[in-house]
């Protein structure tokens, strides 16, 4: 088995697509408005968005609304330069839960934000090896 992608069930499909596309600047691979479905290519893995309504209809089961800021999982996105990514995202109106910080135990620098449905997103930059410089 291999992980193909992560599907996030969202309340407002249009606003969520705009957040991932326009604010996070992820590349849209497939967009189907009639299905309330979007697929984003992030390089190593992909992220899908689907409305809770569309998924409920597909399952034949009411999934109900999510609780505000319920956290069952997080998206971990690696960036080359966390400070630059942080600055760019802030310019695009992204609110951060926790600003960039160094965690030597986890061997990197991290920052946290949430999408419009409360999904926790971790931005990660690997710690530089001695003598290595970021471009």
- Last residue of a domain, which of 65, 80, 107? 65
Same domain membership, residue 15 and residue 51: yes
Instruction: Judge whether residue 24 has pLDDT over 70.
Output: yes
pLDDT computed for residue 135 by the predictor:
47
Q: Using the structure block, give the residue that is written with the tokens 């600047």.
A: 25
Q: Phi/psi at 72 (nearest 5 deg)? A: -105, -25
Same domain membership, residue 100 and residue 85: yes
Dig out the tokens for 120 from the structure.
């926790």
Same domain membership, residue 3 and residue 56: yes
How far apart CA 90 and CA 77 sit, in angstroms, is: 16
What's the pLDDT tens digit per position in 4-17? 788 898 989 999 99
CATH number where 114 lies = 3.10.180.10
What's the domain range around 117? 67-134
Same domain membership, residue 71 and residue 61: no
pLDDT computed for residue 71 by the predictor:
61
pLDDT computed for residue 70 by the predictor:
62
Same domain membership, residue 24 and residue 6: yes
Same domain membership, residue 87 and residue 50: no
pTM of the model: 0.75
Q: What is the mean pLDDT of residues 31-58?
A: 88
Helices (H), the chain: 13-18, 52-59, 82-91
Exposure of 106 by Cβ count < 10 A (0-12 exposed, 13-18 middle, 19+ buried)?
exposed
Q: Phi/psi at 45 (nearest 5 deg)? A: -140, 170
């Amino acid at each position: 088995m291999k992980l193909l992608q992560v599907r996030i069930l969202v309340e407002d499909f249009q606003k969520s697509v705009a957040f991932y596309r326009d604010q996070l600047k992820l590349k849209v691979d497939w967009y189907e408005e009639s299905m309330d479905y979007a697929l984003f290519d992030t390089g190593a893995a992909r992220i899908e968005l689907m409305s809770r309504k569309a998924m409920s209809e597909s399952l034949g089961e009411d999934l109900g609304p999510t609780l505000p800021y319920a956290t069952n999982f997080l998206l971990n996105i690696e960036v080359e330069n966390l400070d630059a990514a942080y600055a760019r995202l802030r310019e695009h109106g992204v609110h951060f839960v926790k600003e960039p910080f160094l965690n030597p135990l986890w061997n990197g620098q991290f920052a946290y934000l949430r999408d419009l449905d409360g999904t926790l997103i971790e931005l990660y930059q690997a710690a530089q090896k001695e003598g290595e410089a970021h471009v």
